[in-house]
Structure 1
Amino acid sequence: MFYSFTGKDANEVWSKATSELMSEQNITTPSRSGNNIELLHALIHIEDPTQRWTTNRVPPISIGFALAELIWILFGSKDAKVINYWNPSLPRFSGISDQYHGAYGYRIRHNFQIDQLERAYLTLKNNTDSRQVVISIWDPKIDSPDNQGQPVNQDIPCNICSLLKVRNNKLEWTQIMRSNDILLGLPYNLIQFTSLQEVIAGWLDVDIGSYTHYSDSLHLYCRDLEKVGISNDLKILNKDSLFLGKEECFYNVNEIYKRMMKIAYNDNISEDELYEISELDSNSSAYRNIMYIITLYVADRKGFKLLSERILKKCTNELFVFLWRNWKGEK
């Protein structure tokens, strides 16, 4: 079978794919993590990748974790302590370790002794028509199963590679995945790689084209069948833009990640310190809003109620505010 889901935004394609998958509940497939329902060979196509947020996912996505993970990826980190702060349950899925084996950002920027984001940028800047830009994540030397067919690590990357092309002055992006959990993975994968698409389009100063996402196994574990649902599609648009020049982009990414490290490695951070951390000195409202939501998560986790309210009022992205309140159950 082959499945195809096309839509204007992430909400539309996620809803279509989830509805199709849920209709297959009577057909289960075994796996090492339990039985699941599965769509083999699923193609997802998003016309406007800037509308990357699945606001209609039930349960709601964690906006704090999603944005922290995006910065963690862009920085090229594999530091488990940092990203675990924004998702304490992550070790249950990726294993207990100081460094995550399959960290996408590290794979993209360091694993192959080359910064693949930089090489992709330089290639497309100097040869716009190139068909050879492939950003590799899968490393067969360290990711392939052992001779008995068993995983060599708990954190084996689900993403294989990204294919980038510029056509009609637009950056087109194709993402290839070997395995994709429609509840726990897909909404975040769409955020991760459409964001990378917008970031590199900014470096190249070209428009953002469409986003195509191939999942060879799009699935949902049977234990999660009662958890997943589709809420009404609210038309709140993402108006923030990650479209910046390369130097300005990395100034923001590096500064935010430095502050994330300060938070993750300081258990006794005060309200005053956290408020100071939340104020990013940047001309980009998009990155300022990212910093606000990342620190809002921390303030909420520490029980700094007044500070949480203060930071939330500073965020100018209406969609981020909605997603935060939705996650907190404040609708």
Structure 2
Amino acid sequence: MEVNFEISYPYITQSDNNWVYENANQAFNILANRIAGCGEMPGNNTIRLKNVGFYIAYPEHNHITEEWRHWNAKYAEREWNWYLSHSRDVSELQKHAPVWKRMHGGDCQVNSNYGWLWNRNKQLQKVIEKLENNPDTRQAWLTLYDGKEMDDYEYDTPCTLNIGFNIREYPTHKIIDMTVIMRSNDLIFGFCNDQYCFSQLQKYVASRIGATVGDYYHFAQDLHIYLPSTNVYPKHINDYLKNILKL
């Protein structure tokens, strides 16, 4: 995003009334406090905000640095490389993130390798070609969750619906912006690693079409945190949620 260097983050856009965060870590920190402070509890062991959309001005700054999160950059890069493999096999990844063991029926085949999904029918390559052939295209969209395949989602339902791209052209350069639309997003585990992989995808598309990285708009219909009583997260995170965020 081209910005005035005197801008103070976060701020609200005048055009579409969305928050703009400087980077992923600022978004994570503020959203955790927003969910804890004004979220609703729907009765499924989460506290959530509904229909949350926001911009990240510098998506390349994609490391989560809040000490209490203990975010693992090596794992995030491992997940990104798994996407690049286009393989549904999670046998290696689940050694580093046991949550994946609950996402399949014993065969280590999952649905949420987004690289596998955006490679189906060569979606990503076709999106890149559309951007190259028509910078004004409104058709540069990837589909990940597919309602027509709902019967195949017994163990693992993709959380991301779509990823879209658009180009802003200037006399001397062009910028690629990205929009991510999610049906559901756990802020603590999901968002931290999702935004890393999606921003890596944005950088990849930018490199393919000779553009620079622009802004990243993230929308989640249900942005949530699991309550500490569920023990979904490690103890140090649950302690922070209970003692600092008062969940």
Q: TM-score range by the shorter chain?
A: 0.7 to 0.9
Structure 2 vs 1, CA of residues 19 and 197 (structure 1 numbering), >3 Å: closer, same or farther?
Answer: same
Whole-angstrom CA distance in 2 between matches of 1:64 and 1:171:
26
Q: Which residue of the partner structure matches residue 64 of structure 1?
A: 74
TM-score by length of 2: 0.80
Deviant stretches of 4+, over 4 Å: none
Whole-angstrom CA distance in 1 between matches of 2:87 and 2:74:
17
CA RMSD of aligned residues (A): 2.1
Whole-angstrom CA distance in 2 between matches of 1:56 and 1:28:
25
Whole-angstrom CA distance in 1 between matches of 2:67 and 2:226:
16
Q: How does 1:106-125 map to 2 (within 5 A)?
A: 106-110=116-120, 114-125=121-132
Decide which structure has the larger Cα Rg and report it: 1
Deviation string, structure 1 residues 86-122 (Cα, Å, up to 9, x no partner): 3234213555432112321111102xxx111111111
Q: Which residue of the partner structure matches residue 157 of structure 1?
A: 158
Q: Which residue of the partner structure matches residue 110 of structure 2?
A: 100
The higher-RCO structure (CA 8 Å, 6+ apart) is 2
Q: How does 1:303-322 map to 2 (within 5 A)?
A: none
Whole-angstrom CA distance in 2 between matches of 1:95 and 1:183:
25
The question of 1:204 aligning with 2:209 is answered yes
Name the amino acid aligned to 1:139: D
Deviation string, structure 1 residues 133-186 (Cα, Å, up to 9, x no partner): 110001212226xxxxxx941210000010111112111100000000011101
Name the amino acid aligned to 2:162: C
Shift of 1:227: 4.2
Whole-angstrom CA distance in 2 between matches of 1:184 and 1:124:
32
Of the candidates 25, 35, 46, which is equivalent to residue 56 of structure 2?
A: 46
Structure 2 vs 1, CA of residues 167 and 98 (structure 1 numbering), >3 Å: closer, same or farther?
Answer: same
List runs of 5+ in structure 1 lacking aligned partners: 145-150, 230-331
Contact persistence 1:5–1:17 (CA under 8 A): no
Contact persistence 1:183–1:228 (CA under 8 A): no
SS at match of 2:83: helix
Whole-angstrom CA distance in 1 between matches of 2:129 and 2:87:
22
SS at match of 1:131: coil
Q: Percent identity?
A: 24
Q: How does 1:75-94 map to 2 (within 5 A)?
A: 75-92=85-102
Contact persistence 1:64–1:86 (CA under 8 A): no
Choose between structure 1 and 2: higher strand proportion: 2
SS at match of 1:81: coil
Whole-angstrom CA distance in 1 between matches of 2:198 and 2:64:
14
TM-score by length of 1: 0.61
Structure 2 vs 1, CA of residues 177 and 57 (structure 1 numbering), >3 Å: closer, same or farther?
Answer: farther
Name the amino acid aligned to 1:167: R
